[in-house]
Amino acid sequence: MIRCPACGTANMDGSTICKKCRQALPATGPAPGPPAPERRNARELLEELKALDPVSVEPPGVVRSLVDMLLQADIPVLIENYPAQPVSDIQKFLAGMVEEKLEELERHTGAPVRDSLLMLYLGCAAYINGDFERALGRFTVAAETDRTDAVAEYDRGMALQSLGRYEEAMESFTRAISLRPEFEQAWANKARTLVLQGRGKDALEYFERALCLDRSDPVAWFGKGATEEDIGQYEEALRCLDTAIRLRPDFVQAWNYKGDALYHLGRVEEARKAYESALLVRPHDFDAWNNLGIVHFTMKSLDKALDAFNKALMVRVESDDAWLNKGTVLELKGDLQEALACYDRALRLNPECDQARKAREKLYTLGMTSGL
């Protein structure tokens, strides 16, 4: 077996490309031909991209250069739900420059480029930037160009999932699995698509299939744990979430879900510690601050709760939930005018927020007799 240096996945002897992340694998014997070129840093790649002239170079050479630059920049070709290493701004900028060079090449030749690997790279870059429609177009070209590429079908499913086109996403994940039955991420995202459709119980079977293929995948453990929590199986959720955290201690979402499960079980102090652990990893995480505020409120630590909700609003000022929570604390502290302002803000952000409306009506009724 060959262990991928980038993602740690075990690959069959003789493989040249990692089955999971599609990065080049080290040779198992003496490498034939000239040595591979040294890796370039971001500055060198930018200069190389600027100098590349799609008009004066033969199209296949341009495509090879663009693919190589995206590989050197560590742009992924496989979409992950919770990547351990988020893509940096410089990587996004490089991918944008590659798109410009590709468009220049297509204008020059008058024909679209249909290179599968280049389409995967550019699709992932578009996906990471939140342009799911563009990503879907790139992944569709990749899948149509190489009908045997399970990663292209998988990535296409991810784009469809993000666009809310769940039935089509399920079809893409199913095709990816038919091409590669051991494709663990495809099983896990088939499960996640069912969760997004409100079919959590049905999803558990697919999470189990994913974990049978890779017991060391923290994302699959998290997905199963989050689903168990959603259907009220809090003890089982904790077991899965603890496994995800053991495998990836900086998994913020797993810490937050662990806090939620503990809170539902009435283990409030342990929930507080879980949310604080999430904040140690990501100090500006909205969910952790908002949930920590709820825990402090439950523990009747109103000043700490108010501080947590204020920090949550610094991260996401448009959250009607956080404004409602802040208003509730201020009301209990007797600051009724400020509480009313918070409820008003929550209703402006979400006119359907019944809790804010009822709290606001109560304060107005109270104001008629107390001079609010």
String of DSSP letters for 85-134? SPPPHHHHHHHHHHHHHHHHHHHHHSS----HHHHHHHHHHHHHTT-HHH
Q: What is the largest CA-CA distance in the chain?
A: 89
Which of 148, 136, 134, 98 minimizes the C-alpha distance to 118? 98
Q: What beta strand segments (E) does the chain contain?
A: 2-3, 10-11
Tell me if residue 231 falls in helix, strand or coil. coil
Give the pLDDT score at 30: 40
User: Both tokens of residue 132?
Assistant: 């799911």
Tell me the CA distances in angstroms from 8 to 19, 140, 241, 363, one per residue in order.
11, 28, 21, 58
Q: What is the dihedral of CA 193, 235, 270, 292, to 10 degrees?
A: 30
Please state the rounded mean pLDDT for residues 64-82: 89
Sequence length of the chain is 372
Judge whether 345 and 326 are in contact, CB under 8 Å: no
The amino acid at residue 332 is L
Q: How confident is the model at residue 32 (pLDDT cuts 50, 70, 90)?
A: very low
Distance between CA atoms of 168 and 224, rounded to whole angstroms?
22
CA–CA distance from 248 to each of 24, 84, 226, 243 (Å)?
24, 8, 16, 9
Percent of the chain topping pLDDT 70 = 88
Rounded distance between C-alpha atoms, residue 346 and residue 274, angstroms: 27
Q: Is 52 helix (H, G, I), strand (E, B) or coil?
A: coil
pTM above 0.75, yes or no: yes
Residue 366 pLDDT > 50, yes or no?
A: yes
Output 269-274 pairs: Cβ under 8 A, ≥24 positions apart.
269/299, 271/295, 272/296, 272/299
Banded model confidence at residue 11, pLDDT cuts 50, 70, 90: low
pLDDT in tens, 222-231: 999 999 999 9
| Dist. CA 35–CA 17, nearest whole Å | 17
- Higher pLDDT pick, 199 / 89: 199
For residue 368, give both structure tokens.
């008629």
> How high is the pLDDT of residue 5?
60
Q: What is the pLDDT of residues 125-174, one digit of tens each?
A: 899 889 999 999 999 999 999 999 999 999 999 999 999 999 999 999 99
Q: Please measure the distance between the N-terminal and C-terminal CA atoms of the chain and give it in whole angstroms.
A: 73
Single-letter amino acid, residue 197: Q
Q: Are 203 and 166 in contact (CB under 8 A)?
A: no
| Extents of the domains making up the chain | 39-159
Side chain identity at residue 220, one-letter code: A
The CA–CA distances, whole Å, from 236 to 209, 217, 221, 229, 255 equal 17, 17, 11, 8, 15
CA 162-166-169 angle, 5° bins: 80
In the 8-state DSSP scheme, what is residue 350?
-
Q: Under a CB-based contact definition with an 8 Å cutoff, are residues 193 and 213 in contact? A: no
- In one letter, which amino acid is 358? K
